[in-house]
Structure 1
Amino acid sequence: MMSSMPDVTIRPIQPDDDAAIAAIIRTVMPEFGAVGQGFAITDPEVDWMSRAYAAPRHAYFVVERDGRVLGGGGIAPLAGGPDDVCELRKMYFLREARGLGAGTALMARCLDAARSFGFRQCYLETLTGMDAAMRLYERSGFRRIDAPMGATGHGGCDRFYLRDV
């Protein structure tokens, strides 16, 4: 059973959060072997997430506890996909924030944003070995699909999910 995370805030990313989120992404990705081309770790927007997600129909949220950013995640239109499909993007948490309910809360916030922007479906890509993440996606209503959608550039990912929002 999951316990709740007391004193956790989920809020839109601010420019002052960019360095913390970049560090989290660059810490978490290698834990799962996600290094090199085709993974978020090499994506140039990692260093300026607040600007990247300031675009229309984009949203990125950080999870903060006691003034420290512990993770984040967001949504954006699916590159190369239908206009009514968004992508769940760059959802990562430091170890200390995993298994405490922050992922479920952040997922709900992202899906609320997707609905508010008029998206009808949400797509995501992940990779073998990110078992806890895949359990979160499935608990959140995502269903596994056989092939990638859109043109995300995440060639290293090998698991694909979709859900209605």
Structure 2
Amino acid sequence: MGDVEIRPPRPEEFAAAGEVTVRAYDVDGHLAGDVGYDTQLRDIARRVEQAEVLVAVDGLGDVLGTVTVVRPGSPYAEISRPGEIEFRMLAVAPSARGRGVGEALTRAVLDRARALGVRKVVLSSLDGMHSAHRLYERLGFARLAERDWRPFPHISLIAYQIDV
């Protein structure tokens, strides 16, 4: 991953980061039945105002992936509690998959938690995001079944946690 930089997005990268996120979710079929979520995924500018966004950018300046780091009680928080942060909307461009971008972004979230003095990172993931689940488990995340939830009757989210 030496050719990829993880950092906050620059304003001129917001559109590309949003498109990468929407494309990643769409290619994997994770937007089916969730009308309007693509608008939220695409809106990097709003996320930057209300959370912390990181992008993975290659040496050519192309956005390869993105993730949103969320503090408890903030507008994008879903399951985090005091003393935790969560991450959401982890996405890797289909053309960049298999290069370790998702792992690099996840490790950057863990590093960010340590820098903030937070002891736990949590997340919710669609139950069908099996490749993401394999990544989380390989990195040491454990299921947090008591925080599984359904934002809508047809959407099941499963929770994970890791101590940092």
TM tier, shorter chain? 0.7 to 0.9
Summarize the Cα distance change of 1:25–1:128 in structure 2 as closer, same or farther, 3 Å threshold.
Answer: same
Quote the residue 1:60 is aligned against.
53
Q: Displacement, 1:11?
A: 1.5
CA distance in 1 between partners of 2:70 and 2:54 (Å): 12
CA offset digits 1:70-111 (Å, max 9, x no partner): 111131113364221211111100122212122222211111
CA distance in 2, matches of 1:50, 1:152: 27
TM-score of the aligned structures, taking structure 1 as reference length: 0.79
Are the equivalent residues in 2 in contact too, given 1:62–1:72 (CA < 8 A)?
yes
Q: Secondary structure at the match of 1:158?
A: strand
SS at match of 1:159: strand
Deviations 1:35-93 (A, max 9, x none): 244885242xx3442452345xx422111112111111131113364221211111100
- Give the one of 63, 70, 75 matched to 1:76: 70
Of 19-28 and 114-123, deviating more is 114-123
Cα–Cα, structure 1 residues 48 and 41, in superposed 2: closer, same or farther, change >3 Å?
closer
C-alpha separation between the residues in 2 aligned to 1:152 and 1:59?
24
What is the root-mean-square deviation in Å for CA atoms of aligned residues? 2.6
Mapped partners of 2:34, 2:142: distance in 1: 26
Match of 1:27, SS state, is: helix
Gapped regions of structure 2 (runs ≥ 5): none
- Alpha-carbon distance, 1:138 to partner: 0.8
Show structure 1 runs of 4+ deviating over 4 A: 151-155
Matching of residue 10 in structure 1 with residue 6 in structure 2 = yes
Q: Once the 2 structures are TM-superposed, how far is the Cα of residue 139 of structure 1 from its aligned partner? A: 1.4
1:29 aligns with 2:11: no
The verdict on how the C-alpha distance between 1:108 and 1:40 changes in structure 2, with shifts beyond 3 A counting, is farther
Aligned length: 156
> TM-score normalized by structure 2?
0.79
3-state SS, counterpart of residue 159 of structure 2: strand
Distance 1:8 1:152, change over 3 A: farther
Counterpart-to-counterpart distance in 2, 1:38 and 1:81:
25
Structure 1: segments with no counterpart, 5+ residues: none
Matches within 5 A, 1:33-44: 33-35=29-31, 36-37=33-34, 40-43=37-40
Shift of 1:128: 2.9
How far did 1:148 drift? Answer: 2.6
Highest RCO, 1 vs 2 (Cα 8 Å, sep ≥ 6): 1
Which one-letter code corresponds to 1:68 in the other structure? Answer: D
Distance 2:88 2:162 in 1: 14
Identity, % of aligned positions = 32
